[in-house]
Amino acid sequence: MIRAAASTPRWAACRSTVGILGKLFRKQRQPYVAAGVRLTNDLVTTLGLTDWPNFEPDYRPDEIEAIETKLSGFQNMANEEMGGQAGFHRDIAPDITRLLAAQALNDLTARECEWPDEVPPNWRDYVSTYLKSWAALLDPFTLYKLGEFLLKAGRRNEAKRVFDVILLFPTYAETYYDGEPDLHFVNGIVSEAKKHLAEL
């Protein structure tokens, strides 16, 4: 099952199951992933992101709540579909959890950052949330939203680095899409990143 055992705090299970650093280190030979890891480490340092002790992500209460709500919602939906307590094979449960955690963190940043005209005073917290979401799924669209958010916050140099990483996504697209890349999306997001870079 996706849910943690009763003896384990659910947020701790989320953290271990998401397996952010292990996932990244296994794939660092990929140029896109390696550049994203360097970007993450640099932003943690330059922006003073305090919830990445030793460059390892720690989750704030609002992030934990968002992830747990998403996991519980999915579990409840699966239970209803199965007519009882649904379980998930141990080989796919971590992937499902990573996907749901990334979605939950993206939803959190969308609620707090994407619509208001003004950047929230704690904008660095949401930069950190974007990075955690990206690390869970390696999704280039999350980086794209981070780049736009950094522009809104007036951090042009950091935004440029984010868009530079997106340009490397085609080198990882086949892996990301498990052999069948969505070329329309790949070309589109690279094109949008290039537009932003041309304006910087």
The parent domain of residue 36 ranges over: 10-199
Structure confidence at residue 136 (pLDDT): 87
Q: Show the tokens assigned to 117.
A: 């005209």
Q: Is residue 132 situated within a structural domain?
A: yes
Q: Is residue 123 situated within a structural domain?
A: yes
Q: Is residue 41 situated within a structural domain?
A: yes
Phi, psi of 7 (to 5 degrees): -80, -10
pLDDT tens digits along 122-162: 999 999 999 999 998 899 999 999 999 999 999 999 999 99
Q: Is residue 16 situated within a structural domain?
A: yes
Helix axes 123-137 and 140-152, enclosed angle (nearest 10) = 170
Structure confidence at residue 7 (pLDDT): 34
Amino acid (1-letter code) at residue 153? A
Q: Is residue 143 situated within a structural domain?
A: yes
Q: How many domains does the chain have?
A: 1
Q: Is residue 3 situated within a structural domain?
A: no
Phi, psi of 127 (to 5 degrees): -60, -45
Residue stretches of the chain with pLDDT short of 50: 1-21, 25, 89
Structure confidence at residue 114 (pLDDT): 73
Question: CB of 57 within 8 A of CB of 51?
Answer: yes
Q: Is residue 4 situated within a structural domain?
A: no
Structure confidence at residue 82 (pLDDT): 59
Structure confidence at residue 55 (pLDDT): 85
DSSP conformation letters of 57-69: ----HHHHHHHHH
Q: Is the whole model's pTM more than 0.75, yes or no?
A: yes
Q: Is residue 5 situated within a structural domain?
A: no
Question: CB of 75 within 8 A of CB of 86?
Answer: yes
What span, in angstroms and rounded, lies between the C-alpha atoms of 138 and 131? 9
